[in-house]
Amino acid sequence: MKEGKPVFGTTEWAASNANYLKGCSNDCKYCFSKEMAIRFKRKTPENWKEEEVNWDAYNKSVRYREGYIMFPSTHDITPRHLDLAIGYLRRLLMAGNKVLVVTKPSFVCVKKICDTFGGFKEKILFRFTIGSTSSETLRFWEPNASDYEERKKALIYAFETGYQTSISCEPMLDNQVDRVVDELSQYITDSIWLGKMNFAIRRLRTNGQLNVETLTAVEQLLEWQNDEAINSLYNRFKDNPIIKWKESIKKVVGLEVSTIKGEDR
């Protein structure tokens, strides 16, 4: 893969991405996809949570692409459209692609994917978003997504079924990241990615979420993620081979930011 500018966001993980929904029922307060959809007038803060199928994107011919394809990257895999997700993922895999399946996991959805694609285990890497072990914290920031116990159950199922597993703890949603690592490392075959909440105030404002309650919460979160705290976090986990650092942390601790899309390091 060609080198270029320092990578950021989804390009740290995957060389390309695939999506077929407009909007996401999770309606996460800090969502970058929601911010972009609002900025470009494709959605509003009020109707983002209404998932619409982009049939042009869904029916577009699928070809082989070098490197991992992140699916999805601007929405989630939700029970309402699970059959569509299965069909889309099948087409990606049948074309010979490696797929990074990124989700705030619904157990029903993960079980269905695992049970359907047993013959493609070497082509699928799950990356489950788990920013906290507190369901209360997850509900605050990601109001319609699954709780911690369901996400853990989905992770364990994928792991025990023989799939490649990883975690995205980006954004870290509290100052208890050690608990995520301690409780879930045994179910990881690949990595746990740690990262800060990016452009927090701007995204909350654009997404229609910047009220007194969220402002107080995000100010506390930003304090927990100041440079001193991030350096302390890095020193605790720098020798742990399954921990990887998102660009937001690499810049603070002085690590080189990759210039290769999808290098996943």
Confidence of residue 3 (pLDDT cuts 50, 70, 90): low
pLDDT at residue 2, rounded to an integer: 54
Helical segments of the chain, H only: 32-39, 55-59, 82-94, 107-116, 135-141, 148-160, 177-184, 200-206, 212-224, 227-237, 247-253
pLDDT value, residue 142: 98
CA pair distance 212, 262, nearest whole angstrom: 38
Band of the pLDDT at 153, cuts 50, 70, 90? very high
For the chain, state the CA radius of gyration: 18
> What percentage of the chain carries pLDDT values higher than 90?
95
pLDDT of residue 8: 86
81 has pLDDT over 60: yes
Q: What is the mean pLDDT of residues 214-228?
A: 97
* Contact indicator for 58, 20 with CB cutoff of 8 Å: yes
Rounded-to-integer distance, Cα 140 and Cα 171, Å: 13
Distance in angstroms (rounded) separating the CA atoms of residues 237 and 230: 11
Can you tell me the mean pLDDT for 187-215? 97
Statement: residue 121 has pLDDT above 70? yes
Does the pLDDT of residue 119 top 90, yes or no? yes
Identify the structural domains of the chain with CATH numbers, from first to last. Answer: 9-253 (3.80.30)
Which pLDDT does position 4 carry in this prediction? 72
State the burial class of residue 14 (Cβ atoms within 10 Å of its Cβ: 0-12, 13-18, 19+).
Answer: buried
Q: In this model, does residue 237 exceed pLDDT 80?
A: yes
Confidence of residue 264 (pLDDT cuts 50, 70, 90): confident
Residue 255 in this model has a pLDDT that exceeds 80: yes
pLDDT per position as a tens digit, 33-45: 999 999 999 999 9
- 1 pLDDT higher than 60: no
Rounded Cα distance, 179 and 161, in Å: 24
- Average pLDDT over the chain reads 96
